[in-house]
Amino acid sequence: MATTICFIIWALLISDTVWTRSVRQVQEVNEPEYWNVDDFDCPMECFCPPSFPTALYCENRGLKEIPVIPSRIWYLYLENNLIETIPEKPFANATQLRWINLNKNKITNYGIEKGALSQLKKLLFLFLEDNELEEVPSPLPRSLEQLQLARNKVSRIPQGTFSNLENLTLLDLQHNKLLDNAFQRDTFKGLKNLMQLNMAKNALKNMPPRLPANTMQLFLDNNSIEGIPENYFNVIPKVAFLRLNHNKLSDAGLPSSGFDVSSILDLQLSHNQLTKVPRISAHLQHLHLDHNKIKSVNVSVICPTPSARPEEQDLFRYGPRLSYLRLDGNEIKPPIPMDLMTCFRLLQAVII
């Protein structure tokens, strides 16, 4: 139980790393004595809370244009409007912006004036979900740490889009129209600190090439991926959370070593076409294999015997690290062999 609790706490910390890292910077305070008189103006279309003078709330107001943003503003909320364009002019004095939320508007790539976003030298968070974008916008400010582009129509990533975004830690491209031809070998070049990459719900048939080496969370659910190249994970040696649910993975499409990758702690392969449990690492803690075509389970895969290598002996001294296993929705028929039942008793949670 202690191991599971520690893992959950660690996982939550990892999944929130992008958030906490940036929030510490965002919470700096710009002293009012450095503001001009005009800084206290509030656009008539918006709300400026007296208790939160660095925030500007303009959401849910039917706006078609972005109002002029006062120079004191750090947090800008423009979601759920009818905005189609992002011109430079409204942001001319908004040099302190850290956070812009433009979710649920009608913004197109043609509507973004070149330089409108890149001029915001302190911007950390940019939300453009649920718009009409067909490609990843560019250029973007070097300071950016999170880019949220879910539920657009993105099918293109122009060359060099990410080349200067070395501070980006989270990139969300889920629920777009990305095909395999959207990626070149250098598409992600420049993303030196990227930790979370979400490309779920696209139209990929292959794994994206040459991912950033620091990637820890890779989400590729709901694509049409059929296989994983040999040695694919060598390029992302820190990946800890891998989600490939709802794809077309088969036994033949997996590398010879399967998912025997020491960094992976949580592996999700639900709703694929696997007929057997793939090789896994002794470090793996959560394994989702439900709704495949698995007929039997090799106990040596789930509960491996002690390794001959001295450096791995401690991994097996107290049984497998695996604590959670889902096998429901497969073709496993009773009775379950005794050695497998014994193995399952070593785990903390098994769904079969």
Give the length of the chain: 352
The pLDDT score that the predictor gives to residue 18 is 43
pLDDT in tens, the chain (352 residues): 444 444 444 444 444 444 434 333 344 444 444 444 445 689 999 999 999 999 999 999 999 999 999 999 999 999 999 999 999 999 999 999 999 999 999 999 999 999 999 999 999 999 999 999 999 999 999 999 999 999 999 999 999 999 999 999 999 999 999 999 999 999 999 999 999 999 999 999 999 999 999 999 999 999 999 999 999 999 999 999 999 999 999 999 999 999 999 999 999 999 999 999 999 998 999 999 999 999 999 888 887 665 544 544 444 444 457 899 999 999 998 888 888 888 888 787 788 8
Look up residue 320 and give its amino acid. Answer: P
The pLDDT score that the predictor gives to residue 335 is 84
> Is residue 330 within 8 Å of 295, Cβ to Cβ?
yes
pTM beyond 0.75: the answer is yes
* Interior angle at CA 157, CA 202 and CA 180, nearest 5: 45
> Is residue 149 within 8 Å of 133, Cβ to Cβ?
yes
CA distance 297 to 228: 22
The pLDDT score that the predictor gives to residue 346 is 76
CA dihedral sign, ordered 322, 327, 332, 335: positive
